[in-house]
Amino acid sequence: MPVLELDAIDRSILDVLQDDARISNVELSEKVNLSPSPCLRRVRRLESEGTIRSYVTLLDPAEVGLPVSVFVQVSLERQVDDALENFERAIVARPEVMECYLMTGDSDYLLRVVTPDLESFQRFLLDHLTRIPGVASIKSSFALKQVSYRTALPLGHLGAGG
């Protein structure tokens, strides 16, 4: 359930911006059938209230020399606050870790790591990940092919009622 009330125009604005964050306000206002000034006010409100967190440029990992994508399951010796905070602090500092999730199930964390090659991943693993205090086990799975990748959130569940 959304914290912010989003009407149909807000949802349209978000759909368009997720597809093209560089669109001009005039073009955006035309696509959502709203005049430019109210459209800009809505975008600014969505930004200030945190619905829109930021605008980014998505790069092709292979084109910038990062073709290796690895999913890493990490289990800690103990799942106490200090151990979790220490691990998370260490992981946030590593630029090759693109995503990190605290999980339920067989492992405590799931990471998505990108590197230029297997040797670089091995260095990350041996020089950084295994040296974080409290790490009990690590399981790595190499992605062979990216079948689907999306950055736009599906907003259909918001429906007509917000």
Q: Please say whether the beta carbons of 124 and 132 come within 8 A.
A: no
Q: How far apart (Å, rounded) are the C-alpha atoms in residues 75 and 94?
A: 18
| Average pLDDT along the chain | 94
Angle of helix 8-19 relative to helix 36-48, nearest 10 degrees, comes to: 80
Predicted pLDDT of residue 108: 97
Q: Indicate if 78 and 137 belong to the same structural domain.
A: yes
162: pLDDT strictly greater than 80: no
* Same domain assignment for residues 47 and 66: no
Supply the pTM of this predicted model: 0.87
Q: Tell whether 93 is covered by a domain.
A: yes
Q: How many domains does the chain have?
A: 2
Note the pLDDT tens digit of each residue in 116-130. Answer: 999 999 999 999 999
Cα–Cα distances in angstroms (integers) from residue 85 to residues 18, 104, 110, in the given order: 32, 17, 15
